[in-house]
Structure 1
Amino acid sequence: MAPLITTAELAAAVDGSPERRPVLLDVRWRLGGPPGIEAYLAGHLPGAVYVDLDTALAGAPGEGGRHPLPEPEALQNALRTAGVRAGHPVVVYDDADGSIAARAWWLLRWAGHADVSVLDGGFAAWAADGLPTTQDSTGPEPGDIEVRSGGMPVLDAGQAAALAREGVLLDARARPRYAGEVEPVDPRAGHIPGALNAPSSENVDGGRWRKPEELAERFAALGVTEDGPVGAYCGSGVTASSLVLALEVAGHAEPAPLYTGSWSHWSRDPDRPVATGSEPG
């Protein structure tokens, strides 16, 4: 599947052959709340199953950061409960800028499930296009996915630091956090020295993903070449997933590695250097 699917394409797939009808995952979430399950219960795509970022799409917070990768067995159990089946298409959506859905997309790819797309525009686009929603939350038949971790490349702290020096490391956070002007959740303010700011919110325009050529221009302006080394990080490894997706949409040759611990991991160690200001440092 392509990394993005339009509302029209998804509506056709939902009404199409049962053998290829996608599993729909609702992953709405907001830093600081309210809980995404509340939005899901108020209305969601017919047949969609709610999957929580904090408890299903991440491990317990700790030394690895605020949203470390879940253990493969725990992820497998969560995805099976949501009805994900081996070799069967999955579509994920949120109601913001696509970053949370991108985390689910990235995690399924990391788990070895390639047949996954993000709904372009998310829940808002679906509703705006007059497509049906429901409050029914009947559970699906259990899935049979087998999680095989390692399907997407990752970075540790040392590799992220090296990439910032020798290639392009993109920081997906908002500019004030990158610059060290504010830090609402992590131990220290600033960014990894040499990293470039590329806010994930700028991957979209009016809630929908920018066209491939627009994204390619954006990344080219940041020094990204079609096959050059590039990676991404953010606050806790969630919103940077949208940069990985956007790079794929833009035509980058290989999946960009993700620093999964991101700033929440980097900033825990006082011996790791920190840069501030609007420049890479």
Structure 2
Amino acid sequence: MHPLITPAALAELLATDRPPVVLDVRWRLAGPPAKADYDRGHLPGAVFIDLDADLSATPGPLGRHPLPGAEHLQHVLRVAGISAGRPVVAYDAGDGSVAARLWWLLRWAGHREVAVLDGGYAAWTAQGHPVTAEVPAVQAGDITVEPGHLPVLDAEQAGKWAREALLLDARAPERYRGEVEPIDPAAGHVPGAVNAPFSGHIGPDGTWRGAEELAARFRELGVAEGKPVGAYCGSGVTASSVVLALEVAGVTTPEAPAALYAGSWSNWSADPSRPIATGEQPG
């Protein structure tokens, strides 16, 4: 299954006898909770998934959105109706940066049939596809979560990758440079990391850039064949979209994916002994 799906292609699948499970993972960093958006209108049959409660463990030294435990994640996914072998489509408000977290978690858990809706809810409605406020009745799924199918970095490994391989920082340039830090304990970036804002994946129309354009962007950032690449962001959410974009671009594959520093800057900056770089250069 290609990691991105268009609204038109999803609409066709939803009209079949065996439609994919559709999950609404709209979320806002600064609130308010997006469940109210879901209640007002969502894709037909979509189930709401809460990023903070369902797709993350309790915030702490490991970060603001640590990876959920396998048992917890399995329960959430089964309640949402996900079974082995059944395709899943995740969507957020638009750019895919939040839906990519669910895409990444499912892939990490061993479920390969998962895609992100290109353009999200905004593209779906802009193209005239139907929405509903009806909450679907869901038959529980049987998915088994088996963590470890995608590589994960801890802080020590992330620091080493930034020095010896390639570590991409998905945050906005001003946060990377250390000019502002609205959330975490310190401003700046992991020394050696290269800024690769996740907003660069999206074109002017709100949908994802094509594979060739993404591949050219990543080459400019230093991605090269045979060179290990990892990604981080503020708390491990939007960095998932970098892992997704690398696969869409064809510079990584499902068999050789990019790594995710799951704790990201919220984990790195929580330890005052860790070095911090500022400015435009990796440092």
Contact kept? 1:227, 1:252, Cα under 8 Å: no
The number of residues matched between the two structures is 279
Q: Take 2:24 and 2:223, find their aligned partners in 1: how far apart are those partners? A: 32
CA displacement, residues 127-176 of structure 1 (integer Å, 9 cap, x when unaligned):
01101100001331111111101111111111111111111100000011
Contact kept? 1:99, 1:200, Cα under 8 Å: yes
Deviation at 1:96, TM superposition (A): 3.2
Structure 1 vs Structure 2 CA RMSD: 0.8
Unaligned runs of 5+ in 1: none
Q: Take 1:139 and 1:173, find their aligned partners in 2: how far apart are those partners? A: 38
CA displacement, residues 3-41 of structure 1 (integer Å, 9 cap, x when unaligned):
0011111111111232xx100000000101111101111
Match of 2:147 in 1: 149
Deviation at 1:241, TM superposition (A): 0.3
Q: How does 1:220-235 map to 2 (within 5 A)?
A: 220-235=219-234
Q: How does 1:54-65 map to 2 (within 5 A)?
A: 54-65=52-63
What is the TM-score when the length of structure 1 is the normalising length? Answer: 0.98
Runs of 4 or more, structure 1, over 6 Å off, are none
Contact kept? 1:192, 1:274, Cα under 8 Å: yes
CA displacement, residues 243-280 of structure 1 (integer Å, 9 cap, x when unaligned):
00000011123210000000000001111000001111
Match of 2:262 in 1: 260
Q: Take 1:25 and 1:227, find their aligned partners in 2: how far apart are those partners? A: 34
Q: Take 2:251 and 2:142, find their aligned partners in 1: how far apart are those partners? A: 32
Match of 2:247 in 1: 248
Unaligned runs of 5+ in 2: none
CA displacement, residues 91-147 of structure 1 (integer Å, 9 cap, x when unaligned):
000013211000110001011111100000000101011011000013311111111
The residue identity in structure 2 corresponding to 1:24 is V
Contact kept? 1:49, 1:139, Cα under 8 Å: no
Match of 2:206 in 1: 207
How high is the sequence identity, in percent, across the aligned residues? 63
Match of 1:15 in 2: 15
